[in-house]
Every structure is written in C-alpha cells, then in structure tokens.
Amino acid sequence: MVRFICVISSLFFSITAQAAKENSNHPKVIAVTQIISHPSLDKIRRGIVDSLRDSGFEEGKNLTIVFDNAQGSVATATQIAHKFRGISPDVAVGIATPSAQALASVFQGTSTPVVFAAVTDPKTAGLAPDHLEGKVLITGTTDFPPVDQQIALIRKMCPERRRIGVLYSVGEINAKKQVQSLKNLLKPGETLIEIPIQSSAEILFALRHHLPLVDVIHIPLDNMIVANLPSVVHVAHAHKVPVFTSHPEGVLEVGALGTVGIDQYQSGYETGKLVSQILQGVSVKKIPVLFLKKAETHINRKIAKNFGARLPENTGECP
Amino acid sequence: MTFFQFLGTCEIAFLYMFVGLGVFLTFRVLCFPDLTVDGTFTLGAALSAYVTLMHDAPFSSLAIAFIGGMVMGALTAFLHFRFKIVPLMAGIIVMTALYSLNMRVMGGPNVSILGHDSIFSFLERQGFSAFETKLGVLFLFLAGVFMLLYGFLKTMTGLALRAIGNNQEAARYQGVPVERLTLLGVGLSNGLVALGGALFLQTQGFADVNMGLGTVIMGLAALTIGEILMPQSVLFLGLFSAVAGTLLYRCFVAAALNIKFLGLSPSDLNLITAFLVILSFAYKHKVSRARGVSC
C-alpha cells in the first residue's frame, strides 16, 4: 500500500512538472482564479477573456490562461495562489474577495502584478494598493452598485411603497456593505427591513415570513440570493410584492420589476482592459483601482403594468 | 508541481496539521466524534484578527484563539454529558452557533489583516524573506505543539484520556473522572484547531466566515492517509501519522489542481475526500474486528 501511494504521488509530480514546463514556453501567461462557480463570477471571467481577445491577446495564440476554481474552499484558494506563484505568470487575477486576498497574500514580495475583480470594498478587504504599497503590486476593479440610484428608482416607480425589504445573505461582505449604504440613504417615512439569511435553504422561508411586512423587495449584489432569484421573484409576485435587483439579468431574464446595476460581464470586460494594459507594459502603479460607475437601468413594462408602477423616462426597457 | 507550489503546499499543510492533531485527539484518542472544529477553525482566525487589529498584539492573539477554541470544544462535551445529546449533534449545534458568533467577532463575513503587522513581521524586518519566515516559524510552532501534546498524552492525565477512548466504562470503574477529562480533551482538540485557524489568518492575512467549511472531513481524510501509510502501534506514530497524512492530503489537493487532462477537476476533490474517509472507516472496522476493540 505504501509503495502504491508512493508510485501514485510520484506520477502526479512528474506529470505536473511537465505541465508547468509547457506553460512557460508561451510568451504571455495569465493565471485566473475564482472562489466558486457562480453565474455572476463566471460572467466576469468571460468578460476578462473577451476583453483580452479584443485587445489582441488571444488564448492559444499569444496568451495562455491558467484557470483554477477553489470550489468554495478558502484553503484551496490559498493553494491555488501558491500554484500560481510557482508558475509565475505575467498577471494573476483573483475574482471575488477571498481569492483576491489569497493572491495578494501569497504574491507579497514578488514582481507579479495582482488584479482583482468583483471586490466590492477593496479597503476593508485589505486590498487597496496604497495600503499594500511596497509589498505587492495590485490593482483591480470594484463593482459597488449605485445604491443611491437604486433607491431613487424605487421611489420613482413605486412612491407609495415605503417599506423596503432587503433580502441578503449575512455571509457575504459585498451584500452587507450595500445594506449599510442603503440604510444611510433612507428618507423620513421610509423603513428598511432586513431579511438576512444564512444559507440558500432559508431564502424562501425567510422571504415568506417577511413578505406581509414589506411593500417592495430589494436584492443587493449577493451571490447566494442571485443564484436563487427565479424562485424569489416567483414567491414575491405571488404575494403582490415587486422585486428590484442590482444586476440587469434580474429584469431581463427573471422578471423582476426594475434594476440599476453594473453588468457583471462589463465589469469583467473592464478588468480585462486593466490586465491587457499591464501585459502591454504599463506600470501597475500607474493603474489606479477602477470604480465602475456606468450603471444600467432596466425596467420590465409588463410587470410594471401588473403592479401599476410608474415608468421613469429614458431607461433601457424590457417588453 | 513546481518547487514553489510544493513549498506553498507545505505551508498550508503546516496550518492544517493543527487540525489533524485536533481531529486525532477527538476521533482516535477519545472516540468522541466532534464536528465543532468546522466552527472553531474560523473562530480561531476571527479572534486572532480581532486582537491583531484592535490591540496590535498578534502573539497574544494566538493564545486568545486557543482559549476561545477550548471553551467552545468544552461546551460541546458539556452539552453531551449534561443533556445527553449525542456528540455529533452537540458538535453541529455549537458549530451552528459559531457561524453567527464568528461573524460578530469579525464584524462582518470577511476580515483582512493584509498590510498589518503579523506574527512574522518582526522577523521580516530583520531581512528574512516573507516566505521562509512563514515556513520556519510555522514549523517551529508545529514542532513545539506536537511535542507538548505528545508529552501531555504521556502523563497520567493523558493516559486516563486514552483509557476513556479505549473503554469508557472500564476507565470509569478505575476511578477516571470521565466527564471532566472528556471536557478537557475535546477542549484541547478544539483549542489546537483554533490555533491552526489563527495561524492561517496570520500567514494568509485574511479570514472568511466560510473558511471552516469541511475542516473536520479534511482532517479525517488526512488521518486516513496517515493510518494507511504507517502502523498505529505506538502513540508517537499515531500522532506522527496525523501530521504526515495532512501533508500528503495537501499534496493530493495540489495534484488535483494540476491534473485536469485526466478528466479529474478540483470539483472532484470532495468526492475523493469522501472516498478516503470511507476507506478510513473500512480500515478501522477491519482492525477493530481483528483486535476485538470497539472504537
């Protein structure tokens, strides 16, 4: 048995050593890691790849992309970061906060630039470039949704609905930040009712419990809720409560009433632009963290009619 | 696998060896299947982050993490003895409570000390490279804890602990205070795991509320690998196999990250882990039938 394991492991080692060697022959290598498989994060990754291609870096031609998914395990995310450091790519990209943090920690003291995406609050996450100056070269994009515009849209479309229920998962720092910002924007007479959930199994239970207490549901950029959005919208509509989301797909694909948000693909595309700048030789120190601002507003006319909501002017619409 | 990846694997393995030792203590020495560790690993990191950020005391944060883990572990054992809750269930209860508690301690679902002073900072300022410092300090910590634990299990108290695991009733008839010692043993195990979590925070610079997910199962898989590799005839080898098994388990993970073309992907890792744990129980079953012991 001992011998068996020795053989197996030495096999792995030799195979992987070869694989690493093959990689280093290509002119440009980028290493991308994300914390978990999720529609939003996958879109960001696609955006990065497409953006690189549009800037002249095509995978398989003059670019090798190493991609690893940590499958939700922080320990694996750290091991992936070490693997990347071993490959020493031209740029390492971390999608979502824990993956970006793992890269920032492991790449300390190297000259490999780290680029993060889908990090809502780089400062709290300890990823701000000035905070890490002299330790690691880092930049990235942050996609904090425009909460002021979101609440303005709710006021405009449903002025009589003043009890806003926010459904979010307590385990996600992005969501938590948005809830705090929303609270600060409330006007007198408006109340914000938090509907926090711990696991995806609780979503519908918590939602049904709170639906009689709220006039409208708002959903922040929250990976766990967004993954279960169709059933959330279905249940809320059955209780005559409209749903507002923070990303366009909510309206376009699932049938929420309205949204102001940054398209995740676009956020990945912008991140890809940063990466290609670095690949073209621009110094990372000259590339500040990009705060994505270009939010899209979408409303769903059919649902708006059902709820008797008012239609704001000049917005992207959905039949 | 590149050399650097191997060193990185060692670094993670050193951290999870504390988990391996903790899980060995509950599952093997005490025969107390304890799931609290999924929560206490994160608790250790959370407490360490809190003390580091608020009081700038990275070293004392390790001690506080250890004590915090110990208290929660003892709580699990207490629930078991006081209310006759089965150990597995008691562990799940405390683990569930810890999810919320950890969030309180961290002040949110994710906390970072990147850029702050860690336990390694003073050595790094002396000119040692960050990576070697981490590996060296972690190894020293591990060696120290390993020897202390070994020494402890050799004392009369330690011997009594092992007796509880072998045959609780017989131990009780010999006058061993089973309840009190189990409290101590499970506490110690969780203290070790929390210490591992705290060191994780210090090395990696961040803690996430979901980082403890699957800690116990990883620990068990590591134990299995160690047990298959070497005999468990003496205590030292048992402890050593927990440590060596962790390193090999982490090598498996690293290999899984590299062998995509075989049709395996990292998402299959949990399947492999589960398989290893089944193997562990099958192996135990076989051994216990041969020796006539029940655990």
Q: Which residues of B touch A73 (CB under 8 A)?
A: 213-214
pLDDT of A27: 76
Q: Which residues of B touch A80 (CB under 8 A)?
A: 257
pLDDT of A6: 56
Note the helical H segments in A221-297: 223-227, 229-238, 249, 264-279
């409560």: which residue's tokens? A241
Cβ(B236)–Cβ(B3) below 8 Å: no
A266/B261 Cα distance (integer angstroms): 31
- Rounded to the nearest angstrom, the minimum Cα separation between A11 and chain B is 10
Task: Report the complex ipTM.
Answer: 0.84
B229 touches chain A (CB under 8 A): yes
Answer yes or no: do A71 and B228 touch at CB < 8 A.
no
A246/A299 Cα distance (integer angstroms): 12
Q: Which residues of A touch B259 (CB under 8 A)?
A: 12, 15-16
Q: Which residues of A touch B218 (CB under 8 A)?
A: 75
A172 touches chain B (CB under 8 A): yes
- Sequence letter at residue B145: V
A218/A157 Cα distance (integer angstroms): 13
The whole-angstrom distance between residue B50's C-alpha and the CA centroid of its chain comes to 21
Cβ(A231)–Cβ(A202) below 8 Å: no
A181 touches chain B (CB under 8 A): no
Q: At what angle do helices B235-256 and A74-87 cross, to 10 degrees?
A: 60
Among A106, A117, A132, which residue's Cα sits nearest to residue A32? A117
Q: What is the per-residue DSSP string for A184-225?
A: HTPPTT-EEEEEEESSGGGHHHHHHHHGGG-SEEE--S-HHH
- Rounded to the nearest angstrom, the minimum Cα separation between A168 and chain B is 12
pLDDT of B227: 84
B107 touches chain A (CB under 8 A): no
The CA-atom distances, in angstroms, between B242 and each of B14, B219, B277 are: 11, 8, 14
CB contact set of A160 (below 8 Å; sequence gap of 6+): A215
Cα four-point dihedral sign B5, B6, B9, B15: negative
Residue A117, classified by CB atoms within 10 Å of its CB into exposed (0-12), middle (13-18) or buried (19+), is buried
Which candidate in A12, A112, A136 is best for mutational testing of the B interface (most B CBs within 10 A)?
Answer: A12
Q: Which residues of A touch B100 (CB under 8 A)?
A: 198
Q: Which residues of A touch B204 (CB under 8 A)?
A: 78, 101-102, 105-106
- Rounded to the nearest angstrom, the minimum Cα separation between A68 and chain B is 7
A64 strand-pairing partners: A29
């193997």: which residue's tokens? B279
Count of alpha carbons within 13 angstroms of residue A262, beta-carbon side: 23
Mean pLDDT by 10 residues, chain B (295 residues): 84 95 93 94 96 93 97 97 95 94 90 88 83 90 96 94 91 92 96 96 92 90 85 85 92 77 66 79 73 51
B201 touches chain A (CB under 8 A): no
Q: What is the DSSP letter of A262?
A: -
A19 touches chain B (CB under 8 A): yes
Nearest-CB residue to A75 (from B16, B115, B259): B16
Mean pLDDT by 10 residues, chain A (319 residues): 50 48 63 88 93 92 90 89 92 94 92 92 89 88 87 88 91 85 90 89 89 92 84 89 84 81 90 94 91 84 83 56
Q: Which residues of A touch B116 (CB under 8 A)?
A: 126
Provide the mean pLDDT of chain B. 89
Cβ(B180)–Cβ(B28) below 8 Å: no
Q: Which residues of A touch B255 (CB under 8 A)?
A: 9, 12-13, 16
Q: Which residues of B touch A135 (CB under 8 A)?
A: 115
Q: What is the DSSP letter of B26?
A: I
pLDDT of B266: 61
Domains and CATH numbers, chain B: 3-291 (1.10.3470)
- Please give the structure tokens belonging to residue B139: 């190894």
Cβ(B109)–Cβ(A173) below 8 Å: yes
B33 touches chain A (CB under 8 A): no
A176 touches chain B (CB under 8 A): yes
A259/B35 Cα distance (integer angstroms): 42
Nearest-CB residue to A79 (from B8, B100, B129): B8
Long-range contacts of A54-62 (CB under 8 A, 24+ apart): A55/A272, A55/A273, A55/A276, A55/A280, A56/A276, A57/A28, A57/A276, A57/A279, A62/A26, A62/A27, A62/A28
């906390």: which residue's tokens? B111
pLDDT of A17: 47
A317 strand-pairing partners: A299
Answer yes or no: do A101 and B204 touch at CB < 8 A.
yes
B86/A274 Cα distance (integer angstroms): 54
Which of B 85-104 lie inside 8 A of A, CB atoms? 99-100, 103
pLDDT digits (tens, 9 = 90+) for B231-263: 777 889 989 999 999 999 888 888 777 766 566
